Amino acid sequence: MAKDNNGYKDTDDKLPRAKRVKNKAPAPVQITAEQLLREAREGQEGEIRPPQQQINDATELADFRLRMRKGFEDQVRRQKQNAYVWIKYARWEESQKELDRARSVWERLLEVDYRNHTVWVEYAAMEMKNKTINHARNVWERAVQLLPRVDQLWYKYIHMEEMIGNVARAREIFRRWMDWMPDQQGWIGFIKFELRYNEVDHARAIFEQFVQCHPKADAWIRYAKFEMKNGDLARVRDVFQTAVDMLDNVEGAEQLFLAFAEFEEGCKEIERARSIYKLGRDRIPKGMAAALYRMFEEFEERYGDKQGIEDAVVNKARFKYEQEVRKDPLDYDAWFGYIRLEENAGNKEKIRRVYDRAIANVPPAQEKRYWQCYIYLWINYALMCLELIPHKKFTFAKMWILAAEFEIRQLKLESAHKILGTAIGKAAKGKIFKKYIEIEWQLCNADRCRKLYENYLHWSPKNCYAWIRYAEFEKRICDTERARSVYELAIGQKQLDKPELLWKSYIDFELAEREFERARNLYGRLLERTRHVKVWISYAAFEASAMVGGDGMRSEDVIEQKEQCIQRARRVFERASDYFRTSAPELKEQRSMLLEQWLNMEKEFGDFGDVTLVQAKLPRRLKRKRPIVIKDGVSAGFEEYIDHLFPEEALNTNCKLFEAAYNWKRRKDSSAEDGDDKET
């Protein structure tokens, strides 16, 4: 077969070969997304609008319609699920007075998506606009049969029938709708429809069905107000009584009792109203009937003897609580309820008597879970149980704090000091120290606060929170040297619960004082204790931002200082990288994290940064497998993990491969020479 000068056969496709990209490194000048969008926008041409077309005869009109229909058909073929394209097509056919074609488009759209109720509404609106009522009625009938839960379809259908004066058909549609048990607005719309035509009996019958479908307090109240407007008081009372019998302790029951009582009060039936208030208080829990209690009090202030009603209710509740506490004397919840009842009644002797009976029921064992409810009885009863609690086994800081606060409210500061001092001596707790210090700080007793902090730290020397708060206290009273001394004592402790928070607070303190050399020294001391990667990163971030000087510096000085900060930060990163490379080669993940932070910081430096310093040190991420070993050295398969291969490791690997190849070649040559000697 013949070939041309380039070596191609006649049948070969003479296509350009793909060029291999040799340099895949990023370009020094990067193109941003904003630049691409701006160039694309500038290269856009103006909007091309079709020219206006003038149609002169039927032939041109037919051609125009043919072109438009072809365009619409192409659109609906490409975007079959886009209802807007179909609707636009149908409206155009309607504008051409081609109703049959428009109906065909609507029907095709409904075959695609009949669940879109907007399509039905638009379809029926077209029929109504063109006064084809039977067609519109047909559309609405199909819509409400397929989508009976869409209220808008029913509303529109009924509105059309009502607008053309077909009230009977509108009523029938409403009844069909109510069979689906819609929400309250549907029923209210039906009732308003009947009232527009003065069909009160029909409206009453609908209300009867309404409250059966939605047995809620607001539905019954609406029903009663309807009867009030019609002036039938006996019916109103029957409605309220039926509602009260059906509803018990449900949401909105309070409003029902209030409306019932307000109605009876308006009818001058004072005793009836009082009985309703009393019934509501008996049925509804007090926590859910605040408005009912308030309105009852106002009612009694206007019409009757409040004390008589209160005594009756309290006696009934008192009998209930007596039965509960006799059945189980250790039921402290019942005692709390009994005490609250007597406190509401206001009889101090009865309150004191109930408290004495309650605290006499001491928990059966010295375990904290039995005492957790019991202690609150004492808290409420003048805080007298401090001597009773076994503080050597356990204590409650809240008891001591509440007792001290009580003494402060009585303006007895010495007694409060004595209580808190006793608490620290018997059973010291962090909450007690904190509260005692807070009280002394509010009283501006700096010496007492300092003494308390010293005792606090003597009791818990490894508590970093206490050390930090002590140093912050010294800083607040503007004693910087004392604050620094506290920090020094703190970091000198052998054991600390959260040393990282303490060191961070100390460094932040020096930075706030703009003592950069001291902060730099602290980082150096911290690195002697731990070489965690986060410490290195924080140190480098500090160096990158540690600029000395104020706002009045010259721009040349600012640039010079910024360059110095960047150099110091780079030295920190280089020290850290050398440490992880030489002293901790097993911490590959921390070393990789360090280099990533270094790279990000170089990028943030902008024109001052140099990412090439870091890119040569970045590792390659390799996915490897390692065996899963369970008990007794038995392997249970393999798991994948991400390994980091640094440049020096890759070089060592290549050297080992070359050495192995050299040894293999040398052994092969030696074997060949031995064979030759044997043949000789």
Query: CA-to-CA distance for 247 and 95, rounded, in angstroms?
Result: 57
Looking at the structure, do residues 465 and 568 belong to the same domain, yes or no? Answer: yes
Mean pLDDT across 93-108: 87
pLDDT for position 549 = 59
Looking at the structure, do residues 500 and 615 belong to the same domain, yes or no? Answer: yes
The answer to whether the beta carbons of residues 224 and 244 sit under 8 Å apart is: no
pLDDT tens-place string over residues 356-396: 777 777 887 777 776 777 777 766 665 445 555 545 555 66
Looking at the structure, do residues 564 and 626 belong to the same domain, yes or no? Answer: no
Secondary structure in 3-state letters for 630-661: CHHHCEEEEEEEEEEECHHHHHHHHHHHHHHH
Looking at the structure, do residues 574 and 651 belong to the same domain, yes or no? Answer: no
Looking at the structure, do residues 451 and 571 belong to the same domain, yes or no? Answer: yes
> Domain limits at 631?
621-657
**Three-class DSSP category at 2:** coil
- DSSP assigned state of 584: -
Radius of gyration of the chain (CA): 44
Question: Within a domain: residue 565?
Answer: yes
Question: Within a domain: residue 317?
Answer: no
Mean pLDDT across 550-564: 73
Mean pLDDT across 279-302: 73
Cα distances (Å, whole numbers) of residue 96 to 101, 126, 144, 274: 10, 13, 29, 73
Q: What is the mean pLDDT of the chain?
A: 78
Q: Cα angle at 423 between 421 and 428, to 5 degrees?
A: 105
Question: Within a domain: residue 151?
Answer: no
Looking at the structure, do residues 456 and 493 belong to the same domain, yes or no? Answer: yes
pLDDT tens-place string over residues 465-486: 888 888 888 888 888 888 888 8
Q: Higher model confidence: residue 60 or residue 423?
A: 60
Looking at the structure, do residues 526 and 631 belong to the same domain, yes or no? Answer: no
Question: What is the full DSSP assignment across 93-138?
Answer: HHHTT-HHHHHHHHHHHHHH-TT-HHHHHHHHHHHHHTT-HHHHHH
Question: Within a domain: residue 14?
Answer: no
pLDDT above 90 coverage of the chain, percent: 3
Range scoring the smallest mean pLDDT among 3-12, 424-433, 472-481, 544-553: 3-12
Q: What CATH number is associated with residue 601?
A: 1.25.40.10
* Confidence at 172, pLDDT banded by 50, 70, 90: very high
Range scoring the smallest mean pLDDT among 71-80, 425-434, 489-498, 546-555: 546-555
Looking at the structure, do residues 449 and 592 belong to the same domain, yes or no? Answer: yes
Question: Within a domain: residue 195?
Answer: no
Question: Within a domain: residue 512?
Answer: yes
pLDDT at 288 over 80: no
Query: CA-to-CA distance for 527 and 495, rounded, in angstroms?
Result: 17
Looking at the structure, do residues 545 and 633 belong to the same domain, yes or no? Answer: no
Looking at the structure, do residues 559 and 530 belong to the same domain, yes or no? Answer: yes
**Domains in the chain: how many in total?**
2
pLDDT at 680 over 50: no
Question: Within a domain: residue 542?
Answer: yes
Please count the residues of the chain: 680
Looking at the structure, do residues 585 and 628 belong to the same domain, yes or no? Answer: no
Query: CA-to-CA distance for 173 and 82, rounded, in angstroms?
Result: 32
pLDDT at 286 over 70: no
pLDDT above 70 coverage of the chain, percent: 79
Which residue has tokens 């009818």?
A: 267
Closest by alpha carbon to 138, among 152, 150, 156, 124?
124
Question: Within a domain: residue 17?
Answer: no
Query: CA-to-CA distance for 388 and 394, rounded, in angstroms?
Result: 12
Looking at the structure, do residues 586 and 625 belong to the same domain, yes or no? Answer: no
